[in-house]
A and B are shown apart, each in its own frame.
Chain A
């Protein structure tokens, strides 16, 4: 660009030398040339043979440095250079799609597992098994978590789910046991609600956070995302409404993200909360807070507590370059090795995907046992609806927000079912 003189300078020089003003058309040519260069430069991105890229959403300082350390170890082990490229979580999908259309895909993409089907459906991902990755020692639930239509596309390093966090001191002072059923939780929450302190906090926000939090209630009650208008889903929603009616749950819940919920719990505005292990790092910064963790209560004693499986998975996008794809699989193998999984789990408080690694991790952090148990029975959001999850999720969030702000649960869910199916 610097080689081309700016249009105005060209023009001035021409006029001084008395050349024909017809050449004033020069700026036009210059601009067109510039535009063409810029446009072309945007396309073909040069690949360096020994440099591999991992695209992830680790924009958070600590996550970025953990991943950087992992990639450094893997680079040394494989004798290549691995670069980390981080974009905000909400942009991973759109960025990857754009890269796919400009044929400049990275070697490894870390997707949120609920987004993976969208990229896998049009053939954007490579089967990890054909690239030589084994699923030995990985529980079936977690293999399914990284699979779409039976093909294993994504390897998880760690997984997470939701659990019931409670303030030990408050429960002890009130002489209450940790609730295990819906009725117990409702009673406990009611008793713990006093003054500015609510019994429980959860996120019913109008985004994926809220839907993620609703799933354990919906699923433990026998509800299902393919049939939002069923009695069981309405039952779960009515349970949430009950908590609101008792005053045990703040009305602000419809405006809270999971991070807001954690803030409320830490500030002592809630005695219990539904949240995930990624909050533990923040929770531990407040030394005076003694928290415990338990499985999310179930409708009746003996029911199974089914949580949503969350977390990111490492995938190999389909670039057509088999040699690079094979190396990419090796990068994933290194990143998700037993040792790396434990390191990552220690940092992030999430549960290692590998059974053996999980066993070691369990011994290290016995206080998170309940979480590991919850993960064992958790299920993925996309197992049944695949790429249709985003429609279901949008319809569901609108429905529970309507119900929590006054509408009849059954009516709201009936509308949601119609919306979810028309959107596919």
Chain B
């Protein structure tokens, strides 16, 4: 940014007059290009670059409530890191995050794709049903969480009562109250929330596929499965990548849903890296330790972003 403003007066005014036309035009274009880019660069540096760097630095500092008063946050080497990594809870939270993310993505994407394909068919009430499925997306995450907590209550929840009336009660299922079930239930709820997003984007992608290809396939006598595998999937690939990467980014950092459903419990069985960051930073007010977990989350996301960019680049060729 400083180069554009500093170099500008240097060429003025005599130099400008002497330079030949094409060169002047090129320079003018270059400068205006920079003018367009600069605000974005400044924005990125301020709102993404600074917090990112600050978070990394903070993870090497003793950043406690007293820092807010005296502004002192002495560097403490890798103390925060070793403290976080030595805690069993970190390993648990990392594992839960992996299971949660993979489980959610498979469920959301699988059901979302099935529904998207289903809705490409013409049938009565298609549009109405499609908009109905969007509902989970419109409800705020915390509201869904609280409603689902009631639905999944072991004794008074609607879900268990429903199984009761079907005669499938057989001892109430401890959806959220057993440490071995809770993570599974939380994943289920997150799948429910994520289906609309997956469906909408994939449905949009399906609309882009030329109808002629399907006609040609049916003339060739291709089966439904073959058509799906050889036409739908390959042509949908760019959209699939986008859906999965966006889904990954929003799932891996999950916090609000878990806080509303289980608060990380019972017995830490639904603690994820997101809830651990929250707990360290905002319950224990140990911002250094919180930053460590936050950095791990960023690192995981960064690795996937690289994969995404590479996939995009190879497609571009």
Report which A residues bind B (CB closer than 8 A): 7, 11, 20-22, 24-29, 31-32, 35, 90, 93-94, 97-98, 100-101, 118-119, 121-124, 196, 198, 205-207, 250-255, 264, 267, 269, 387, 390-391, 394, 397-398, 401-402, 404-407, 419, 422-423
Contact = CB atoms under 8 A, between A and B. Distances in A.
B28 A206 contact: no
Contact of A22 (B8, B83, B268): B8
A324 to B, nearest CB: 18
B68 A397 contact: no
Contacts of A119: 65
B301 interface: no
Contact of A32 (B42, B156, B174, B283): B42
Contacts of B29: 21
Interface residues of B, number: 51
20 contacts: A11-B35, A21-B32, A24-B36, A25-B31, A26-B35, A27-B38, A31-B38, A35-B46, A94-B285, A122-B68, A205-B263, A252-B155, A252-B177, A255-B177, A255-B266, A401-B179, A402-B267, A404-B266, A405-B266, A422-B83
Contacts of A32: 42
Name A's interface SS.
helix
A205 B42 contact: no
B149 to A, nearest CB: 7
B42 A93 contact: no
Those 9 A-B pairs whose CB atoms lie nearest each other, nearest first? A206-B265, A24-B35, A122-B66, A401-B267, A402-B267, A28-B38, A254-B266, A24-B32, A101-B68
B39 A31 contact: yes
B153 interface: yes
B250 interface: no
A27 B31 CA distance: 12
B16 A20 contact: yes
B1 interface: yes
B28 A390 contact: no
B53 to A, nearest CB: 17
A35 B69 contact: no
Interface in B255-270: 262-268
Contacts of B263: 205-207
A91 to B, nearest CB: 9
B279 interface: yes
A423 B284 contact: yes
Contact of A31 (B43, B265, B279): B43
A269 B28 contact: no
A198 B266 CA distance: 21
Considering residues B71, B149, B285, which has the most beta carbons from chain A within 10 angstroms of its beta carbon?
B285
Interface string B55-66: 000000000111
A206 B275 CA distance: 12
B27 to A, nearest CB: 8
Nearest to B259: A207
Interface in B146-204: 149, 153-156, 174, 176-179
B285 A93 contact: yes
Contacts of A419: 87
A419 B87 CA distance: 8
B32 A250 contact: no
A264 B150 CA distance: 11
A97 B155 contact: no
Contacts of B43: 31
A31 B39 CA distance: 6
Given A255-B176, A401-B265, A25 B154 contact: no
Contacts of A207: 263
A264 B156 contact: yes
B154 A251 contact: yes
Given A254-B266, A405-B267, A28 B69 contact: no
B183 to A, nearest CB: 13
Nearest to A387: B65
A122 B64 CA distance: 9
Contact of B4 (A25, A101, A402): A25
B225 to A, nearest CB: 43
B5 interface: yes
Contact of A407 (B66, B70, B267): B267
